[in-house]
A and B are shown apart, each in its own frame.
Chain A
């Protein structure tokens, strides 16, 4: 990897703007004021529904789309003013297996792309072979890319980006279309990249992958930043206050009616032995227990309903970055858009 001061963020995006002209229609505002920072060794997820502006944002970071406004810094290099210098610090896999030359072998692809970075086959041969082994492609090094499976092609595309030795690696949908085993391998490789101190900006619709790999996420909807927060914090913020209660005896009609009067969300099973209840305030649990105790209804189990990241993402996008209680998660209008967490 090339070296830059450790205090400089690997990637800093500030107030990025992009509109595309349309025939007989007003310009399409694809990205509007998106900003975030990715530190060294972080895996950051860039999320959003289709058409949210993720790909445009990634392409502006890569220098493939020229922004109308805003700043992109890659390892301290102003990517708008010095795009070629910035690409020394950045590699990307944007279209997975389509990023390769199918009539060249795995090794020839690695040599070709490194050649375009000014490096000779001799200088990268050892690293290329080691990387192919690490990516479990060692026995396929002289196979044409056209003859490799999709998963192998995907891994090779990532290997090309890794061999470039850049501090920042952008991966667009790295596990799309892969089987479970290859998907797991790609996840392992992404973790290894982060462990090496590289910054990975990852775009994916697979929320399980995002939850598993990303330290923080940047969520975009309709071109605007709606959240920029650590995954654990988001999970905490969106943690469900709903509980599943299993009873030793069925609820009476009177108890069910009392619960419905006391709590906004109550769902009682047909047999009256299971209840899901949303306990919004801290003393709600005592009130709930009081209703049960009135008729000595035994409680066999009480479990907090687990929240999945997919649900968090859905709520963020639907509510424009607001928590269920109406507070903003990350970005208040006009505040630091680099996205220091603004909660509440």
Chain B
């Protein structure tokens, strides 16, 4: 049963990405252009002696920013779009709880965008002529808890969308928050370790920019990363559940 729910939603995401191809392409092009602008800023304005490190920093930050943006905001966008279309109530009339349908939808979104991010990263590295070092098992191990936290945040945003519907302005502003999360290192603001995903981004940056391997991280780092993912995932689900209860109590599901 769950496999069919997952398959249906992944297929839907991919089919709609194909049908809305200009939208998908413009998203990628926009991020690439932003990357080029940042790259020019780093090379022209920045300190030339640290340019290589900064470019590596930029490559990772830009890719993570893109992933955060599409990951965290995706279900929020989906819900506002579904409410506008009139399909949101249909999702809530399934024998499968809507949160699992949305989770399947998010999985499809993240999978598709991970592929796009990988492609964009390769293109960006080729553009600037700087290649990051990839320890694939480590990257995957880091992405797991990070995506868990991303999922939690996505559910929190989805909950807000369920109750308030018109959250586009908030979603627009949130991209700058994600930008900060993606680029500010923990060495500058250690308290950001408590924020979602930032610990994972810091570890990912250490791996991709500085070439750190598994051994470079201690048990405390992994525990912090895992806890961060689990807590934000749980909090996100709780927030979504509360929002869903409020939406059904007030009859907000069909309204936009």
A15: interface (CB < 8 Å): no
The answer to whether B12 touches A65 (Cβ under 8 A) is no
In the bound complex, what is the Cα–Cα distance between A103 and B87 (angstroms)?
13
Of B128-136, B152-160, B213-221, B247-255, the one contacting chain A is: B247-255
Q: How far is the CB of A192 from chain B (nearest CB, A)?
A: 22
Q: Which of A21, A64, A115 has the most CB of B within 10 A?
A: A115
Q: Report the interface size for chain B: residues with CB under 8 A from the other chain.
A: 33
Known A84-B97, A94-B89; judge A59-B19 contact (CB<8 A).
no
The closest CB in chain A to the CB of B19 belongs to: A103
**Which of A59, A104, A119 meets B251, CB within 8 Å?**
A59
Q: Is the interface of A mostly helix, strand, loop or mixed?
A: mixed
Known A104-B15, A112-B12; judge A87-B87 contact (CB<8 A).
no
Which residues on the B side are within 8 Å of A128 (C-beta)? none
Which residues on the A side are within 8 Å of B212 (C-beta)? none
Cβ contacts A86-107/B at 8 Å (1 or 0 each): 0110111011001111111000
A66: interface (CB < 8 Å): yes
**Which of A64, A88, A108 meets B92, CB within 8 Å?**
A64
B187: interface (CB < 8 Å): no
The answer to whether A95 touches B12 (Cβ under 8 A) is no
The answer to whether B97 touches A103 (Cβ under 8 A) is no
The answer to whether B16 touches A99 (Cβ under 8 A) is no
Known A65-B248, A103-B19; judge A95-B93 contact (CB<8 A).
no
In the bound complex, what is the Cα–Cα distance between A144 and B4 (angstroms)?
22
The closest CB in chain B to the CB of A18 belongs to: B251
Interface residues of B in 159-207 (CB under 8 A from A): none
The answer to whether B8 touches A94 (Cβ under 8 A) is no
**Which of A64, A66, A101, A121 meets B89, CB within 8 Å?**
A64
In the bound complex, what is the Cα–Cα distance between A62 and B93 (angstroms)?
7
A56: interface (CB < 8 Å): yes
Which residues on the B side are within 8 Å of A108 (C-beta)? 12, 15
In the bound complex, what is the Cα–Cα distance between A79 and B5 (angstroms)?
22
Q: How far is the CB of B147 from chain A (nearest CB, A)?
A: 23
B96: interface (CB < 8 Å): yes
Known A104-B15, A112-B8; judge A117-B89 contact (CB<8 A).
no
The answer to whether A64 touches B253 (Cβ under 8 A) is yes
Known A66-B248, A95-B89, A102-B85; judge A118-B16 contact (CB<8 A).
no
Cβ contacts A293-317/B at 8 Å (1 or 0 each): 0000000000000000000000000
Q: How far is the CB of A182 from chain B (nearest CB, A)?
A: 19
Cβ contacts B211-251/A at 8 Å (1 or 0 each): 00000000000000000000000000000000001001111
Which residues on the A side are within 8 Å of B249 (C-beta)? 65-66
The answer to whether B90 touches A99 (Cβ under 8 A) is yes
Interface residues of A in 6-25 (CB under 8 A from B): 18, 20-21
Q: Which of B87, B89, B93 has the most CB of A within 10 A?
A: B93
Q: Is the interface of B mostly helix, strand, loop or mixed?
A: helix
In the bound complex, what is the Cα–Cα distance between A18 and B250 (angstroms)?
10
Q: How far is the CB of B12 from chain A (nearest CB, A)?
A: 5
Q: Which of A62, A65, A113, A160 has the most CB of B within 10 A?
A: A65
A232: interface (CB < 8 Å): no
In the bound complex, what is the Cα–Cα distance between A243 and B8 (angstroms)?
62
In the bound complex, what is the Cα–Cα distance between A64 and B98 (angstroms)?
11
Cβ contacts B66-96/A at 8 Å (1 or 0 each): 0000000000000000000111011111111
Q: How far is the CB of B20 from chain A (nearest CB, A)?
A: 7
Which residues on the B side are within 8 Å of A102 (C-beta)? 85
A111: interface (CB < 8 Å): yes
Which residues on the B side are within 8 Å of A144 (C-beta)? 19
A116: interface (CB < 8 Å): yes
A85: interface (CB < 8 Å): yes
Which residues on the B side are within 8 Å of A84 (C-beta)? 95-97
The answer to whether B94 touches A87 (Cβ under 8 A) is yes
In the bound complex, what is the Cα–Cα distance between A90 and B92 (angstroms)?
12
Which residues on the A side are within 8 Å of B8 (C-beta)? 111-112, 114-116, 121
In the bound complex, what is the Cα–Cα distance between A103 and B13 (angstroms)?
11
A76: interface (CB < 8 Å): no
The answer to whether B86 touches A20 (Cβ under 8 A) is no
The answer to whether A92 touches B93 (Cβ under 8 A) is yes
A4: interface (CB < 8 Å): no
Q: How far is the CB of A184 from chain B (nearest CB, A)?
A: 25
**Which of B95, B250, B253 meets A118, CB within 8 Å?**
B95
The answer to whether B248 touches A104 (Cβ under 8 A) is no
Which residues on the A side are within 8 Å of B89 (C-beta)? 59, 62, 64, 94-95, 99
**Which of A87, A100, A112 meets B93, CB within 8 Å?**
A87
B124: interface (CB < 8 Å): no
Which residues on the A side are within 8 Å of B97 (C-beta)? 84
Q: Which of B20, B91, B92, B95 has the most CB of A within 10 A?
A: B95
Q: A112-B12, A120-B4 are in contact. List 7 more A-B contacts (CB 8 A).
A: A59-B89, A63-B248, A64-B253, A84-B97, A112-B8, A116-B8, A118-B2
CB pairs A–B below 8 angstroms (6 shown): A64-B253, A65-B253, A99-B89, A115-B5, A115-B9, A116-B96
Closest 6 A/B residue pairs (Cβ):
A115-B8, A98-B86, A118-B1, A95-B86, A116-B94, A103-B19
